[in-house]
Amino acid sequence: MSRRRGLRRLVILGLALALVAGGIYTAVAFIQRSETLVAEMCTAAVGSGKAELATDQAANAALITAVAVRRGLPPRAASIALATAMQESKLRNIEHGDQAGPDSRGLFQQRPSQGWGTEEQVMDPYHSSGAFYDALVKIPGYESLEITAAAQQVQRSAYPQAYAQHEDMGRAFASALTGQSTEALDCTLKSPEGPGDVQAVLGELTAAFGNVPAAADGSTIVLEASGSQAWALGQWAVANAKSLSVTEVGVEGRSWDRKSRNGWQASGAPAGQVTVTVADGTS
């Protein structure tokens, strides 16, 4: 009798442990997949450093950097621009200034009264980014200057040392978004709220980088690019994945999958092409 009781206890204990293990697995799986628990953000990991931005900030960082790429400027120019915009506006296209500059507007808080353009122009991210670079490249040896010194010569801020706190972020995101650092930019996102628009993505790409050889195949765009240009395009697409409902990006044997949330992984993405896939609205 005692032997049967012992066996019964072992069976019960085994079942209890199995239930507990199954419950833990289910809970972990739920936490990993639950949309309500996903903290949306974008990160740029370069070397041992890692910087983080909100998704809207990352999209603006991608725009600012794309303007530098399109102009053929070095990554250092984008680093300076990103650190500057982070200090001036938190990388958001704001419609107001402060006591020091009541008429300041936009990503760089440029003042129409100081010759940066009309209010409408400084609120245009492409105009404001271009105006910043126009001023930056006039500074002799700006590439060898400290980011704070270069930014201050453009902005003439009342707080010139404040730019320094954003140097690491500027370098990390500029390195990723110029394509100098491969598979460095990742965004953790919830599922798309609706289907994507291939033509809208192409329009934004063209506005950012100019004419890039491209073809649309259903919900996927195929771009002809290689090397740093390919990675600049691919990581731009990841940075804009939230607003453009991008679900997958492929670059030179690596792919980013919005659903998996595992960053860049090995894949069959061909060399010489960048693929950008948007949600098709069927799931």
Evaluate whether 98 touches 104 at the Cβ level (below 8 Å). yes
Task: Give the pLDDT mean for 194-204.
Answer: 96
Share of the chain above pLDDT 90, in %: 74
User: Tens digit of pLDDT for each residue in 95-146?
Assistant: 986 656 678 899 999 999 889 999 999 999 999 999 999 999 999 999 999 9
The residue-averaged pLDDT of 205-225 equals 96
Instruction: Give the residue from 172, 204, 168 showing the smallest Cα distance to 185.
Output: 172
pLDDT tens-digit readout, 226-274: 999 999 999 999 999 999 999 999 999 999 999 999 999 999 999 999 9
Which band of pLDDT confidence, cut at 50, 70 and 90, is reported for residue 22? low
**What pLDDT does 28 receive?**
45
| Cβ–Cβ < 8 Å for 235, 179 | yes
Distance of CA 283 to the CA centre of its chain: 25
Render the burial of 68-86: b for 16+ CB within 10 Å, e for the rest.
bbbeebebbbbbbbbbbbb
Question: Which of 279, 275, 48, 81 is closest to 177 using CA atoms?
Answer: 81
The string of DSSP letters for 203-216 reads HHHHHHH----EEE
Residue type at position 48: S
Residue 7 has a pLDDT of 59
pTM for the predicted model, two decimal places: 0.86
Distances (CA, A) of 121 to 14, 41, 134: 70, 29, 14
- Mean pLDDT over the full length of the chain: 89
Region 13-26 average pLDDT: 55
C-alpha torsion 232→238→242→247, nearest 10: 130
Structure confidence at residue 162 as a pLDDT band (50, 70, 90):
confident
Task: Give the model's pLDDT for residue 146.
Answer: 92
Phi/psi of residue 110, nearest 5 degrees:
-85, 145
Please write the tens of the pLDDT for every residue from 218-236. 999 999 999 999 999 999 9
